[in-house]
Amino acid sequence: MTAVTDPAETTDVSNDAVLKHRSGNRWMHWINFPILTIMIWSGLRIYWANRAYSIGPIDLFPEWFNEALGLERRLAKGMAFHFTFGWLFTVNGIAYGLYLWRTGGWRKIVPDREHLKEAFGVVLHDLGLRKTAPVQGKYNAAQRIIYTAVILMGGLIGISGFAIYKPIQLSWLTAMFGGYEGARLVHFLTTMGFVLFFVVHLVQVGRAGWSNFASMITGYERRNGASRD
């Protein structure tokens, strides 16, 4: 999604560059990327053992898909990876939440009513159906909604994961999802939501160009570059 640099959120470092992403944001972003990738991969291995969901007669993950990714074997290994990296995902998520609260970064992410109204215009602009770009800050209206949704999804996938992992010891938590199967369905749908976000995010990063990508590594973005996130 298109965005421009917010002067209140950036710091001048030269005539050509501004500080766009603080070190905490960059570190936790890059730590989370491989963790979530491994979580999805190992989760698919667990799903392979009991493919419960389909759309009518269509299996969501047909046999050729499982074979191509080597998912049809080593279930125990998939579970070991999933549980181990699940803890890392949880710790990193809590750390990120505390970081946003401590630095006040949540104010630049959480949308308000006006952002809900503006989001549709951002989508039309990104699709090339509207020429005029909507008013934007560090994150535009659509980004705020999506990033907030992803943070909430992270909490939901963690809580539902615990409900599946310890359905007896945490029976009260499992009951909140309507039982084990309900928790499992929520966990699966949230995972698919993360996969969709992954795809859209990578496409948007590609559209934004090198300057935007480099800013998530170095923290700085050129003034004359396309300022997107």
* Structure confidence by residue, pLDDT tens digits, 73-95: 778 888 899 999 999 999 999 99
Question: 72 versus 184: which is more confidently predicted?
Answer: 184
pLDDT in tens, 107-126: 888 888 888 878 887 777 77
Percent helix, strand and coil across the chain, each to the nearest 5: 65, 5, 30
Contact between 206 and 198 under an 8 Å Cβ cutoff? The reply is no
Tell me the two tokens of residue 211.
């300057």
Question: 138 versus 109: which is more confidently predicted?
Answer: 109
Residue 60 lies in a domain: yes
Domains: count for the chain: 1
Residue 220 pairs with which residues in a beta bridge? 19
Please report, for the domain that includes residue 160, its CATH number: 1.20.950.20
Most confident stretch, 16-20, 158-162, 196-200 = 158-162
Residue 140 has pLDDT above 70, yes or no: yes
Q: Considering the chain, what percentage of its residues have pLDDT values greater than 70?
A: 83
Tell me the C-alpha to C-alpha distance, in Å, between residue 163 and each of 87, 157, 168, 173.
14, 10, 9, 6
Residue 1 lies in a domain: no
Amino acid at 32: N
Give dist(CA 175, CA 169) in Å, integer.
12
pLDDT of residue 227: 38
pLDDT of residue 116: 80
Instruction: Give me the mean pLDDT over the 15-33 stretch.
Output: 82
What does the mean pLDDT of the chain come to?
80
Residue 1 has pLDDT above 60, yes or no: no
The widest CA-to-CA distance across the chain, in whole angstroms, is 60
Residue 59 pairs with which residues in a beta bridge? 54
Residue 2 lies in a domain: no
pLDDT of residue 127: 76
Which residues are CB-contacts of 109 (< 8 A; sequence separation ≥ 6)?
A: 100, 139, 144, 147, 148, 151
Tell me the two tokens of residue 119.
């989001």
Residue 228 lies in a domain: no
Residue 12 has pLDDT above 80, yes or no: no
Give dist(CA 16, CA 99) in Å, integer.
28
Q: Helix axis angle, 141-165 relative to 180-208, nearest 10°?
A: 150
Give dist(CA 10, CA 18) in Å, integer.
6
Domain span holding position 111: 7-222
pLDDT of residue 215: 80
Give dist(CA 81, CA 118) in Å, integer.
41
Instruction: Give me the mean pLDDT over the 157-166 stretch.
Output: 94
Tell me the two tokens of residue 103.
């630095």
pLDDT grade, residue 223 (50/70/90)? Answer: low
Instruction: Give me the mean pLDDT over the 151-175 stretch.
Output: 94
